[in-house]
Each structure stands twice: as C-alpha cells, then as structure tokens.
Structure 1
Amino acid sequence: MKLLMFTVGSSQPKFGAFVQEKIIDLNEIARLAKLSLPPSIQESLKSSSGLSDAEKVIPYAVANWNQLPENAIWKEDQIEWLPIVGSPEKIVCVGLNYKHHIMEMKREMPSTPVLFAKMATTLNGHRQDVPYIDLSNSLDYEAEMAVIIGKKGKNIKKRECLGVCSWVFML
C-alpha cells in the first residue's frame, strides 16, 4: 500500500493512496463508502486501528472505479506532494550509517551510532525542491527511511525491534 499526503491547488491537505497508477483521495472515497477514516497518515497512526482503516477504503475504490467523482481521483502531475507526517513529535536521525559513504568522505567507521535531531520544518514532500542557501558548491543526497515507533521502550533487543514499530516508510 503506497500512501501519501498531497494538495491540489489551494486545497486542504489530502490523505491519498496510489491505486491503478492514479492517486485517490482516501477521505473522499471513505465518505462515499460510509466508512470512517482519520484525515491524515499522522492521525491514522495515532488511532487504535492504525492504517487498517485506509486499507478498507481501497477495495471500495477499485470496485467502484468508474463511478468515483472527479474530486476523488488525481493524476500525479495534478498534485503537490506533502511530507508523509506533517508535524512529528521527534525526528531522530542516524548519521554515518553507510560504509561506502563513510569511506568516500575519508572518515573512520563510528563505534557507536551517530545520532542527531532534525526539526519538523526541514521536512519536504516527495519531488519537491530542496531549498538551500548558496554557502556550498554541492548538496549531498540521501535516501530516507522513517520508522514510526508506536510503543514506549528502552533497551529493546534487536530481535524485538520490529514489534515496537507501527510502520516503516521510505521517503
């Protein structure tokens, strides 16, 4: 299931999913199907049913594809991507975690994880421009993965770590 947050023109943020190479507005389709759905990925992750409510909307969309209104289906070039989670409580990042990149930078392998924080204002939507000031001749590129931790924990064993994660997103 590929989920996203997006806007169309000056619309309010929309909770969407990729279905049949189009983007559907999950909340609009949930309304048509008389299903309950939180307004965003972030709110869905906080709900007791998590993202399973979004999973229930997609079969309705597929079964009723030709009857869906125009404001429920979008082409990718009609939308503006938003960050997956708009205002997370914390963003903890791990740096120096790719051996090839560490060697490329001529740095030593760290003996412990290198952690740093990012501010929520640095989040960006997929395919959106990355703003920067002209203090550098180049930007470094990264692949981003977000792990949404859904349970409190401390000293969690490696074999148990996926049990505390609600969802993992590739950004």
Structure 2
Amino acid sequence: MRLPIRSLLCSWRLGNSSTADTGRRQLSGPAMRLVQFCRRSEEGAVRVGVELDAGQGVVDLRDFDSSLPNTMREFLETGERGMEQAHRALSSGKSVVSLSEVRLLPPVTAPEKVVCVGMNYRDHCLEQNAPIPKEPIIFSKFPSAITGPYDDITLPEESKEVDWEVELAFIIGRKGKHIKEEEALSFVAGFTVANDVSARDWQMRRNGKQWLLGKTFDSFCPLGPALVTTAALKDPHNLGIRCRVNGDTVQDSNTNQMIFRTEKLVAWVSQFVTLCPGDVFLTGTPPGVGVFRKPPVFLKKGDVVECEIDEIGVIRNTVI
C-alpha cells in the first residue's frame, strides 16, 4: 500500500516568468524535503532520505537504490540522476523508515565551504544604526562548526557572550564558477534553517575584530531540519523568519528584508571561488540578537533556542 504523500512533494514545478520565480527559469526538478539521518540502531551510519508528511517517516534512498551514495554531499554530486531517483523513491511508497527509528543529522556534513554573509538584513542594519552595505560582506565558519537540528550548542569556556542568529541557509547543488545572476538558482539544491551562533566578545573585541574565531567554535552552526528543494518553495525571499529563546520570541522578520538575495550571493562569491555541491551559504540575520538588547542578553546553560522559517521548518537546540 502506497503511503499518502502531499501533492507538493509529488509534483514537478518548472520555472515560469512570475515575479516570485524570477531567476528560476532554468531550474526544474522535484519538490522534496531531503534529509541526512542515521537509524538509531546504526549510529554513525549516515543515510540520505526524503521526508514524508509529518509523522509518516523517511524514505531511505540507499535502501531503495543501492547505487545511491550515503551522504548528502555525494548525493548532490550525482546531479539530476540522484534527484530523479529520489523522486521515484518518494512516489513508490517503499523503503520507509519510521520516525521513531531515525535521528536527523545536519542536511549536509563536511561541506567544502561554509560561506556566511554579514549585515544582510535592512532591519538588522537599522537596529545597529549602520549603513546599508553596497557589496556583500563575506566571512566563513569552519565546517566543523556544523551540528544537527536538535543537537546541543556547547558554551565554550573561552567566551561569556554567546549569542543567537536565525538565518536562511542554502546549499549548492552543482559545481560552478563565474555564475551569472540569472542562472544562479539553477546551482542551488535547496534551502534550510541555520543558527549562526556567535561569541560576540571574540567577534567584536578579540583577534583584531576579525569575525572568524567568534563564529566557528564547535557546535556554532546548527543546521536543518531538511534541505527543502527550491521547487518546493513559493519564494525563498518572502518567508517569515523567527527565533525563540526559552519560548520567548527574540527575532521576528521576513526574508524579504535581505539586501543581497540568493542569486546575487551565488554570483558574487563565485567570482572568487569555485562553488561545489554541498557548499553551505548562511545569508544573514534579522534584528533581535542579544548583543544589541539593552542590557545585552547572552545564552546560558539550559537555554533552548528555536530557529524557524516558514515552509522550511524548525531547529531546536539546548545550550549546555
């Protein structure tokens, strides 16, 4: 018996000329929610899957087709063939693993690059009384900072000012250099939720005020819960985005506040480096971060941080 699957996931959306789909015209593909997971009985054995409707489980792609790889990065490297097989697996109703047997991992682990964008929300610039950037401000995290959608955030002994930043992230689906803006979305596999956890003392006062060290402690990049393919989103630049700490909403905005959108960021960064499947981009945060509150508020042991983006999902991380 085939499991019921939302029509969105079974459909194929071709790019069109609507305003919301500008820049998406060369992109076609299945609307899906791709995940990395391990079975609780096989901790450490990474698999790629497709989420069914809430509570219905995950389709194990390697179980459906043994020729498919185990990790998301390798899966994305298979290109169109992998996506087509994932769509067939989703439509088949086979190889379904119960959610009770699954632990979700970050959608991507060990990417070649984690590219981050600073000061990329108009309302966040206003919060700081800072000028609107004329070019993207780029920094990075090390891939070792990535952790799962429900894993813990570890407070480092070296910092007393650890802060939250909910962000829309996207993941590169195919290799490219000097990519044109009008073609950029065809290089994006999909979108996910990120928390750009930041040690403000190291970001703003230490290490010559370079941002890297303050951004890249272990566990400072929770990511997930799924890679939502671009075709599954009506418009990634018009989504509600929010963060809650212990149930209290601390950030509440919309991705339409982004100064430099996905297409611009892909084109801009690809001038300097070759983008590869699995590369992760964090696109900036809206207002409401702890450091600019009066008085400033920072994370402490026992806090629960939830980052949520409409149509994509929620990640929930406990501070330890």
Q: Which residue of structure 1 aligns with residue 84 of structure 2?
A: 52
CA-atom RMSD in angstroms: 2.4
Alignment of 1:51-130 (within 5 A): 51-61=83-93, 72-75=96-99, 78-130=101-153
Q: Which residue of structure 1 aligns with residue 57 of structure 2?
A: 23
The question of 1:170 aligning with 2:202 is answered no
**TM-score of the pair, normalised by structure 1:** 0.77
What's the CA shift for 1:149?
Answer: 5.0
2:170 touches 2:188 (CA, 8 Å); kept in 1? no
- 1:7 corresponds to which of 32, 38, 41: 38
The question of 1:43 aligning with 2:66 is answered no
User: Which structure: greater helix fraction?
Assistant: 1
Q: Which residue of structure 1 aligns with residue 163 of structure 2?
A: 139
Paired residue type of 2:47: K
Give the whole-Å Cα distance in 2 for the aligned partners of 1:93 and 1:46. Answer: 22
Identity %, equivalent residues = 24
The number of residues matched between the two structures is 157
What's the CA shift for 1:14?
Answer: 2.1
Q: Which residue of structure 1 aligns with residue 315 of structure 2?
A: none
What's the CA shift for 1:127?
Answer: 2.4
Which structure has more RCO (C-alpha within 8 Å, separation ≥ 6)? 2
Secondary structure of 1:59 counterpart: helix
1:3 touches 1:15 (CA, 8 Å); kept in 2? yes
Give the whole-Å Cα distance in 2 for the aligned partners of 1:54 and 1:146. Answer: 19
Secondary structure of 2:112 counterpart: coil
1:81 touches 1:128 (CA, 8 Å); kept in 2? no
Give the whole-Å Cα distance in 1 for the aligned partners of 2:128 and 2:162. Answer: 14
Give the whole-Å Cα distance in 1 for the aligned partners of 2:117 and 2:111. Answer: 17
User: Which structure: greater strand fraction?
Assistant: 2
**Per-residue CA shift, 1:87-127, capped at 9, x if unaligned?**
11112111111111122133222221100111110112112
Give the whole-Å Cα distance in 2 for the aligned partners of 1:90 and 1:142. Answer: 19
Change (3 A) 1:136 1:52: farther
Give the whole-Å Cα distance in 2 for the aligned partners of 1:4 and 1:43. Answer: 13
**TM-score of the pair, normalised by structure 2:** 0.44
